[in-house]
Homo-oligomer: A and B are copies of this chain.
């Protein structure tokens, strides 16, 4: 008997899943294992596989199968209908993007990324600006086409590609809530913290010792070492597939928390992948519910769990064990103060939980103005510095620490920045609900028992795959629509009242 149109589509996506898994491994290898002289060949391999993926999604055969499957979806199960919806969305995005534009964007952003890297080294925005102008022009074209295809505002269509269900309206609402309280809160917390002395860690921490600490912590959390790896790299990231997850950390000899918290961040991604619904792993409905949700899981582990009192209590004896850390700077109180220190700084990736949203708001604002034609790329540096002054009360000392600090725009990723912030809001709202559901939370974490925490996240989020929309998922997990109020409550209690341990 011939397979139904829907079943035929499942086979096409099974193949896509295999191709994408191969791409992910090729990327991991390029960043972790590949000899430095081998980049050109790797680029060809990745391009060949991505072209193949695009060809599947845009093939007339798949379009016809989708039409027929949708017409007959009355006989499908709920998961299958959700799967079909995700397939359609992926195809809509791919079909809306002409191959010529796709290739132009890939080539232009590759050049722009390398120009960005040079410009950053030389501290000269002018060197990057003409390349960024070209990228913005192509991304506007892309946004217009995607917007048309998805019946959305062009910017929203870009966001939709990364994280469906997140709209400008939602982002603006979250930011409005933040804006009302955050600038004042930052001032109050900094004033309060200045009154309390903090002892810095002044040692040098060996790679081998940091690695042993990370392994012990990740083992406790449940990182699947039989179906995943953790390696050192020049930046922290997650690649791979659910059955073979590859995470990296980036090492600093001076600050042992950079590698550890970076590893926790990536473990958040890894646990998400690991907890995805097994029967749907090679289908779109079996993937994570977009970047905002992805980031919520990594931020939960890095920020909410990793910088909690309870976690510091668990961590202190491990630091003593692995680094021989004794003396007053290794006390629980001092370590907690180190991990929750708030400071206005120019660099997003170094920012603490409180000032981080300000960095993102700035970027959201500027990238939308560029795409809407309200801000010319040649005026971007000035606008950047002005926004920094207003939002963070400082001016970057140079372009490298200012407008040139992130690679996102060079690579054509517009609509990505605000998702970090949506992730923060999601994470805080999940944490609030989790604390209600798990009253023993602090005790278990202090003991290094993460079973209940990870189990809660798995059931509420990971095991749902992409079955529900973002709204439905938040409703099912927290019985509330997504807002920033839980995030603000969390920040107030943790940083002002010191009344919260998670």
Give A contacts to B, CB under 8 Å: 14-15, 17-19, 21-22, 25-26, 29, 33-38, 40-42, 44-45, 47-49, 52, 224-229, 241-244, 282
Contacts and interface: CB of A to CB of B under 8 A. Distances in A.
A169 B33 CA distance: 45
B243 A41 contact: yes
Contacts of A19: 45, 48-49
A48 B37 CA distance: 28
Contacts of A242: 41
B44 A18 contact: yes
Contacts of A14: 44
Contact of A37 (B18, B35, B224): B224
Given A25-B26, A29-B25, A47-B18, A35 B225 contact: yes
A45 B29 contact: no
Given A228-B35, A229-B35, A48 B244 contact: no
A125 B290 CA distance: 52
B52 A243 contact: no
A44 B18 CA distance: 6
A35 to B, nearest CB: 5
A38 B42 CA distance: 23
Contacts of A52: 52
B41 A241 contact: yes
A18 B45 contact: yes
8 contacts: A17-B44, A21-B41, A22-B26, A35-B228, A37-B226, A37-B227, A37-B243, A44-B282
Contacts of A282: 44
Given A19-B48, A26-B25, A48-B15, A42 B244 contact: yes
A406 B14 CA distance: 34
Given A38-B244, A243-B38, A45 B25 contact: yes
A45 B26 contact: no
A42 B226 CA distance: 14
Contacts of A228: 35, 38
Contacts of A18: 44-45, 47-49
Nearest to A228: B35
A449 B214 CA distance: 45
A85 B45 CA distance: 25
A106 to B, nearest CB: 14
Contact of A38 (B29, B36, B49, B227): B227
A48 B22 contact: yes
